[in-house]
Structure 1
Amino acid sequence: MSSSPSPALRPALTVVGSINLDITATAGRLPTPGETVGGGVLRQQPGGKGANQAVAAARLGGSSRMVGAVGRDEAGRSLLTAMAEAGVDTRDIATVDAATGTALVLVDSDGENQIVVCPGANGEVSVGGVPFGADEAVLCQLEIEQELVLETARRTQGFFALNAAPAAPLIPELLERCDLVIVNESEYALIPALKYAPLVAVTYGGDGSAIFENGVRVAEAPAVRVTDIANTIGAGDAFCAALVLALRAGLEHSHALAVANAVGADAVRDASSQPALQTLAHYIEATRPAA
C-alpha cells in the first residue's frame, strides 16, 4: 500500500521568497555589543525563510514549489541540490550573477538567536513568466522586496498567504489581497494595520497561537511543551507552511493551529533551519480533538 498522503492532505503550495546560506555560530550565550564570546561551534546549512517554508511543506507531504534566486556560486548550487533532495520543485529558481543570499546567525544554549541577513541574489527574484494555478496556495515573506510580494499577490489565482516577517509597514493593497497573514506576537504589535485584516494568525511562543478575524480572536491552540530545544530559527517557518497546508486540507481554525504548533515544536528540537518532520497526516491525527 502506498504511504503517499491522500489528495486532500497533499495541497499544492508555491513559496515565493528568500533562499540563503546560513552561517551559524553556536555559543553558550549571545555577546553584548562590543563583546567577544569564545568557545563557539561553526556550521553552514541551507536557510532563508522562503526556502525553509518550501522544504517544510515538502517534508510535510505537500506538493511544494519554490520561486526564488541564487547566485552562480558553490553556495547557490548546494542550496538548489538541498531543496531538490527534500522534494521541492526548483524549476522556477533563477540563477543570477549576484552572490547567493547569506545569513550570519548567532545562537545561544537556549536556542535564542541574533541574525544579520545579506540579501544578495534575493534582490533579483522575479515572478515574470511564472504561472500560478487556481488550485495552489501561494506563500510569501518579507525577505524579498514588498513590491514583488504585491506583484505575486496580484498574480495569485487561488489562496494567498503572507508571513509578514521581518516586520514592516504593509502596502495597503497587499494587505487587502491577503487571504491569511501569519506573524509572531512582536510582529503583530509592530504592524498596527493587521488589527483590521480579515484573517491573521499570531504565534505567542510558549502561550500557543491564535487566529483573528477583523481583529476578533476566533480560535486558539495551546503550545506543545518542549524541554529539549536545539534551535528556534526554522520553527516559525515550519509553523507557516504547516498552517497553510492544514487550512487548505480543510481543517477548522483551532485544529489547524494545533497542527502548526505541533510542527513548530518538532522543529525546535532539530538543530537545522530546515528540520526533519513527520507528514501532515501524522500531525492531523495526533492533534485531532477528542470526540
Structure 2
Amino acid sequence: MHITVLGSLNYDMVMFTPRIPLGGETIHADMFATHRGGKGSNQALAIRRLSRPEVQVRMVGRVGTDAFGKELKSGLEAEGIDVSMIVEVDGSSGVAVILVERDGQNRILVSAGANNTVKPTDIDISLLQVGENLTDFLVLQNELPLDVVAKAIQLASRNKVNVVYNPSPMSFTISSWAKSVLSQVNYLIVNESEAQQLCGTEYQDLFKEVHLDGLCESLQPAIASIHTSFALYGTVVITFGSLGVIYSTFGNPLVHCPAFKASKVVDTTGAGDSFLGGFLGAIADGKLVSEAVKYGSAAGSIAVTREGAADGIPFLPEIIDLL
C-alpha cells in the first residue's frame, strides 16, 4: 500500500498567550515554541504514524534553501517518510505564526514561501508513479495554489487513484471550479465551518444551532446538497469537535460517530490533520468508513491534549489502546 501527500511544508512559530492582544497593545506570552508544520507535512506525518509499518508514505512539496527548509525535510525523513520529491528552491520556506490562547483556541498567519512556487506545469504522472506502479491514494489540501490542486485531482482521477481531499483553508464556495474538482474526490474531509461554506445559502442556517441529539436529522438536507451540488459520489466526512463526526455517502442517510473525550484541551492545532491520518491509515488497512472514523476521532482527541501540530500527532498503538 502506498500513499502520496501533495501539499505544504511550513515552519511553525507558536506563541502561547493568555489572550490575543488588542490593536497597538503588547502583552507577555506564556511560552514560545517552534515546530515543523504545514498541512501537507502534518498530514504525511499523521498518516505515517497512524498506519501499519508496511504502508509507504511519500511527501511531495517544496521548501526554501533556508535553515527551516533543511529541518522540515530531515524531520520527515527521520520519521520514515519518502522525501525524494521534496524540492528545494531559492528563497524562504513556508512559515506559520500561531497564537494559542489558554483555552486551546488558535489563530494562524501563514507566509507561503516556497509552497507558492509550485505550478500546474509541475504536475504530471511522476506525481503518482511508484516504481512501475501507481500510488494507491493521493492526499491534498488547500495550502498550495488552487490550480495546482485541481490539476493533481484531475490527474489522479483519470488514473483511478483514490483522492483524499481536505479543502483547508477553505478558499472557495460553490463555483464552477469546485464543481469540476469535487466530483472527482473519493473522500472529502472537512470541519463544520468548511461544510457550511460548501452548502448553498438556503442550508447554512442549519449549522448555527446544531446539537448532539439532532445532528444527523437537522443536517441531512445540507449534506445532501453537498453531494448533489458537486456531483460528489464519494464519502463526505465532517468533524464537529466535541460533538463528534458525521459521514455520508451519496444517497444514504448521515451516520454519527460520538467524540472521544479529551482529558484536557491544550492546543487544537493539528487536530484535523491527526483525524485525517487516523482515518486514512484505517482505510488503507481495509477497514470500513464506520471504523475508520473512530480511528480518526481517537487520534484527534489525543492530539488536542498536546502542544504543537506535528509534535502532538499520536502513534497507532495509542489509538488501538484507546479504542
TM-score by shorter chain over 0.5: yes
1:84 and 2:77 equivalent? yes
1:124-178 per-residue CA deviation (whole Å, 9 max, x = no partner) reads: 2343443345452111000111111111112223210100111122532211110
Amino acid at match of 1:223: A
Q: Which residue of 2 aligns with 1:263?
A: 299
1:180 and 2:212 equivalent? no
Root-mean-square deviation (CA, aligned residues, Å) is 2.0
* Corresponding pairs, count: 276
Q: Which of 127, 130, 135 is the equivalent residue of 2:127?
A: 130
1:194 and 2:226 equivalent? yes
Kept in 1, the 8 Å contact 2:128–2:135? The answer is: no
**Alignment CA distance shift 1:256-1:122 (3 Å):** same
Kept in 2, the 8 Å contact 1:59–1:87? The answer is: no
**Alignment CA distance shift 1:153-1:95 (3 Å):** same
1:27 and 2:44 equivalent? no
Separation of aligned partners in 1, 2:313 and 2:188: 25
| TM-score, with structure 1 as normaliser | 0.88
Alpha-carbon distance, 1:269 to partner: 1.6
Separation of aligned partners in 1, 2:87 and 2:313: 26
| TM-score, with structure 2 as normaliser | 0.80
Separation of aligned partners in 1, 2:70 and 2:139: 23
Kindly report which structure 2 residues correspond to 1:240-255, keeping only aligned pairs within 5 A, or say none: 240-255=276-291
My pick for the range that moved more, 269-278 or 124-133, is: 124-133
Kindly report which structure 2 residues correspond to 1:35-46, keeping only aligned pairs within 5 A, or say none: 35-46=25-36
Kept in 2, the 8 Å contact 1:13–1:245? The answer is: no
Separation of aligned partners in 2, 1:75 and 1:108: 25
Separation of aligned partners in 2, 1:251 and 1:284: 14
Amino acid at match of 2:76: M
Q: Which residue of 1 aligns with 2:268?
A: 232
User: SS of 1:87's equivalent?
Assistant: coil
Amino acid at match of 1:65: R
Q: Percent identity?
A: 30
Separation of aligned partners in 1, 2:101 and 2:322: 31
Q: Which of 14, 19, 30 is the equivalent residue of 2:4?
A: 14
Alpha-carbon distance, 1:217 to partner: 4.0
Q: Which residue of 2 aligns with 1:8?
A: none
1:206 and 2:229 equivalent? no
Amino acid at match of 1:263: A
**Alignment CA distance shift 1:248-1:39 (3 Å):** closer
Unaligned runs of 5+ in 2: 200-224
Q: Which of 255, 272, 278 is the equivalent residue of 1:219?
A: 255
My pick for the range that moved more, 173-182 or 131-140, is: 131-140
Separation of aligned partners in 2, 1:215 and 1:184: 21
1:165-213 per-residue CA deviation (whole Å, 9 max, x = no partner) reads: 1112253221111001110000000122734332210000000101122
**Alignment CA distance shift 1:259-1:147 (3 Å):** same
**Alignment CA distance shift 1:215-1:240 (3 Å):** farther
Separation of aligned partners in 2, 1:233 and 1:282: 19
Separation of aligned partners in 1, 2:116 and 2:304: 29
**Alignment CA distance shift 1:251-1:26 (3 Å):** same
Separation of aligned partners in 2, 1:187 and 1:101: 23
Kept in 2, the 8 Å contact 1:72–1:99? The answer is: yes
Kept in 1, the 8 Å contact 2:4–2:128? The answer is: no
Amino acid at match of 1:68: G
Q: Which of 49, 64, 70 is the equivalent residue of 2:39?
A: 49
Separation of aligned partners in 2, 1:165 and 1:136: 22
Q: Which of 97, 101, 104 is the equivalent residue of 2:94?
A: 101
Separation of aligned partners in 2, 1:85 and 1:189: 38
